[in-house]
Chain A
Amino acid sequence: MMKRSGKFNIKKTIAYIFLTLLSLVYIFPVALMVSNSFKTSAEIRKSPIGLPDSLYIGNYIETWNTGNFGRLFINSLTVLLLSMAIIYIINLLTAYPFARMNFKGKKYFFLLFLSGMMFPMQMAIIPLFKIITSLRLVNNPLSLALVYAAFSMPMGIYILSTYLKSLPREIEEAAEIDGCSSLKKLLIIIVPLSKPALATILIINGINVWNDLLLPIIVMTKNSAKTLPAGLMYFSGQYQTQWEYITAGIVIISTPMVVFYLFMQKDIINGLASGAVKS
C-alpha cells in the first residue's frame, strides 16, 4: 500500500513538472511582449530578456499615434456591435419558426441553413468581394457585419432552435391567451429565457469577428476603415524589426480581449464547450 502511493506521487510530480514547463512556454512570450514594450530600443538591444529599468511609455505614445490605434479601435468596435446586432436579429428570427411553427418545407429550409457549416469562407470570398463592390459597401462596416451574419447562421440557427425547443411552451401559451403577437412573444418571453444560448452565440462569433483578418483586408481597403488586426499588420509593415513599437502594438490590440477573457472566463469556456458539444 505504501509503495503504491509512493509510485503515485512520482507520477504526480512528473505531471506537475510537465505542467510547469509548458506554462513557461505559454507565459514567457506573452510576458516578454509586455516587458519589452516598456523598453527603449537601446535597452532592448542591451537586455532583450530582462525586465525594463523603468516603465517607459514612449513606445505606446508613438505607436498609438502613428498606428492610428484610436481609429482602429472605433472601427473594430463598430464592426463588432453592428455584426452582433445583425447576428442576433437574424438568428432569432430564423430559429424561432423552426422551433415553434409548422410549415411546408421546414425540413428542407433547415437543411439548407445547416449545410452551410461545410463551407469555409475562402470558398465564397471572390464573389463576395464582387457583390460588396456592386452594393457600394466597400470600406463600410456594414459589409463585414452582413457577411459575418450570413456565416454565423448555420451554427447559430442550430444552437438557438435546439435551445428554444427545450423551453417549456406554457408561458408562451399563457401570453397567447392574453393576446400577445408572436413577435412580441419572441422579444418579451423567449429572448430573456434563451440567455445561455445567446451567450454561446456571442462568444463564438464575437471572438471571430474581433480577430478576423481575411475579410477586412479584402473589403476595408482605406486606411481609415481598417480594423485592429489589419491595422496592426499595416503598422508592423512600416516599423519592420523595430520591436519596441511592434511589441507595444501587440499589447495594445490584445489587452481588451485578455481583460474580457479574465473577467468572463467561465462564460467563455462554457460557451465554447457547449457550442461544440451541441454541434
Chain B
Amino acid sequence: MYKKKGVSTLIQPYIYLLPGLIIFSLFFIIPVFTTFIYGFTNYDGFQKNLNFVGFKNYIIILQDEVFFGSLKNNIKLIVLYNTVGLFISLSLAIILNNAVMKNVYRTIFFLPVIISTVAVGYMWTYMYDSNSGILNTILKSLNLEPVSWLGNFRIAFYSIVAVDIWKGQGNNMILLLAGLQTIPLELYESAKIDGANRFKELRYITLPLLKPMISMVTLLTTVGCIKAFDLVYVMTNGGPMNSTELIAMRVFKDAFGSGSTHYYGYASAEATVLFLITILISIVQLKMSKNEREE
C-alpha cells in the first residue's frame, strides 16, 4: 500500500506533463529542429528529392540581393520603431499619466492594437491609394502634387513603417504607462521641494526608473519587427521593386509562393538566419540590461 502510493506520486508529475510535451514536441520542437536540418539540404517539398548540400544555401543567401534588401528593411524597421515609435509611445505615456480624460485618450491610441493587421492594412491601402485615396484627395484639394505612397520605391517602405507604428505603438504606450505607475509619488514630491522643474524630474526620476520597462519594450518591439509579415503582405506584397521586402516575407514566398525560384531548403536557411538574428539581439539586449542593473 505504502509502496504503491510512492510509485504513483513519482510518476504523477510526468503524467501531467505528457500531453503538453507531446503537443509541444510535435508542433514546436520537431518543426524548429527540422528547419535547421532542411537549411543544409536541397529539399524541394517532395520527399524523394533530399540531399545534404552543406552550407550551399547559406552561401547563396550571402549573394542574394533581395534577401539583403529585406534584411536591411528589417533593420530600418527596428531602428525607426525604437526611435520614432518609442518617442511617440513614451511621450504619450508621460502625458497621459497625469492627463484629464486619460481613459478616453488611452482608448483611442490603443484601439488599432486590437484590430486585425489585415483590416488595418486595407484601411491604409485606401488612405494611400494614388487615385481615389484619401491622402491624395486632401493633397489635391490643397493644390499640392499627389504622392504615390505605395507605388514609389523610395517612399513605399516608409509609408508602411508609419502604419506599423500607428497600429502597434499603443501596446508600448500601455506597458510604459504601467511602468510609470510603479514609480512612487513621494520621489516627485521631494524633488519638488528641492526645486526641481519638470524637465529635471523627467531626466533624474522618470526616465531612470522607467529604464527596465523601456528595455523590455525595446526587446518586445525588436522581436516583433523581426517577425513582421502581415502588413507588408497585405499592402504591397514586397513591391515595388522589392523595396518593401522583409525576411519573414522571403521565407514565406520562397517556401510557399508560386513562381518562386527557390525551394524549402533555401527558405529554411533563411528562417534559420531570422532565428539567429532574434537570438543575437536578445542576447545583446539582456547583456545591456544586466550591465545597467550592475552599474
Is B171 close to A, CB under 8 A? yes
For the complex, give the distance between the alpha carbons of A44 and B131 in Å. 12
Q: Mark B90-117, 1 if CB is under 8 A from A, else 0.
A: 0110011001000001111111111111
Candidates B17, B35, B109; contact of A127 at CB < 8 Å: B35
Candidates A23, A157, A214; contact of B108 at CB < 8 Å: A23
**CB closest residue in chain A, given B20:** A94
For the complex, give the distance between the alpha carbons of A105 and B175 in Å. 35
For the complex, give the distance between the alpha carbons of A48 and B95 in Å. 34
Which segment of B54-62, B203-211, B227-235 sits at the interface? B227-235
For the complex, give the distance between the alpha carbons of A269 and B106 in Å. 10
Candidates A29, A127, A247; contact of B30 at CB < 8 Å: A127
Candidates A90, A126, A214; contact of B38 at CB < 8 Å: A126
Is B191 close to A, CB under 8 A? no
A210→B116 contact, CB < 8 A: yes
In chain A, positions 109-132 with a C-beta closer than 8 Å to chain B are 109, 112-113, 116, 118-131
Chain B count of residues within 8 A CB distance of the other chain: 85
Which segment of A59-67, A191-199, A226-234 sits at the interface? A226-234
Candidates A119, A130, A246, A272; contact of B28 at CB < 8 Å: A119
For the complex, give the distance between the alpha carbons of A94 and B166 in Å. 37
A90→B19 contact, CB < 8 A: yes
- Enumerate chain A residues within 8 angstroms of B114, measured Cβ to Cβ: 207, 257-258, 260-261, 268
B119→A123 contact, CB < 8 A: no
Residue from A32, A127, A247 having most chain B Cβ neighbours under 10 A: A127
For the complex, give the distance between the alpha carbons of A110 and B35 in Å. 23
B171→A272 contact, CB < 8 A: yes
For the complex, give the distance between the alpha carbons of A25 and B95 in Å. 17
Contact residue range for chain A?
35 or more
For the complex, give the distance between the alpha carbons of A50 and B227 in Å. 38
Is A54 close to B, CB under 8 A? no
Is A238 close to B, CB under 8 A? no
Is B216 close to A, CB under 8 A? yes
Which segment of B75-83, B144-152, B272-280 sits at the interface? B272-280
A126→B255 contact, CB < 8 A: yes
**CB closest residue in chain A, given B127:** A29
A116→B24 contact, CB < 8 A: yes
In chain A, positions 31-85 with a C-beta closer than 8 Å to chain B are 32-33, 44-45, 48-49
A18→B126 contact, CB < 8 A: no
Is A101 close to B, CB under 8 A? yes
**CB closest residue in chain A, given B163:** A29
A-B contact count (CB 8 A): 247
Given contacts A118-B279, A131-B27, A257-B114, contact A125 B123 (CB under 8 A): no
- Enumerate chain A residues within 8 angstroms of B155, measured Cβ to Cβ: none
Which segment of B8-16, B63-71, B287-295 sits at the interface? B8-16
- Enumerate chain A residues within 8 angstroms of B108, measured Cβ to Cβ: 23, 26-27
A254→B226 contact, CB < 8 A: no
Given contacts A150-B28, A254-B119, contact A30 B111 (CB under 8 A): yes
A26→B111 contact, CB < 8 A: yes
For the complex, give the distance between the alpha carbons of A187 and B95 in Å. 44
For the complex, give the distance between the alpha carbons of A236 and B124 in Å. 13
B132→A48 contact, CB < 8 A: yes
Candidates B20, B21, B122, B230; contact of A213 at CB < 8 Å: B230
A276→B27 contact, CB < 8 A: no
Given contacts A109-B17, A207-B114, A276-B216, contact A122 B24 (CB under 8 A): no
B31→A128 contact, CB < 8 A: yes
In chain A, positions 214-263 with a C-beta closer than 8 Å to chain B are 214, 218, 228-230, 232-233, 236, 241, 243, 246-247, 249-250, 253-254, 257-258, 260-262
CB distance from A173 to the nearest CB of B (A): 15
B132→A45 contact, CB < 8 A: yes
B223→A48 contact, CB < 8 A: no
Q: Mark B207-248, 1 if CB is under 8 A from A, else 0.
A: 000000000100010010011011001100000000000011
B116→A211 contact, CB < 8 A: yes
CB distance from A61 to the nearest CB of B (A): 19
B31→A124 contact, CB < 8 A: yes
B38→A127 contact, CB < 8 A: yes
A218→B256 contact, CB < 8 A: yes
Is A167 close to B, CB under 8 A? no
B117→A213 contact, CB < 8 A: yes
17 pairs, CB–CB < 8 Å, chain A vs chain B: A29-B127, A90-B20, A97-B16, A118-B278, A123-B35, A123-B271, A153-B28, A182-B12, A207-B114, A211-B115, A218-B252, A228-B116, A229-B118, A260-B114, A272-B174, A274-B178, A276-B175
B interface residues with partner A (beta carbon < 8 Å): 10, 12-14, 16-17, 19-21, 23-24, 26-32, 34-35, 38, 88, 91-92, 95-96, 99, 105-119, 122-124, 126-127, 129, 131-132, 134, 137-138, 166, 171, 174-175, 177-178, 198, 216, 220, 223, 226-227, 229-230, 233-234, 247-248, 251-252, 255-256, 264, 267-268, 271-272, 274-275, 278-279, 282
9 nearest A-B residue pairs (beta carbon): A94-B20, A124-B31, A150-B27, A127-B34, A211-B116, A127-B31, A273-B178, A103-B13, A97-B13
Given contacts A269-B110, A272-B171, 7 further A-B contacts (CB under 8 A): A93-B16, A113-B24, A232-B122, A246-B122, A254-B116, A258-B114, A261-B110
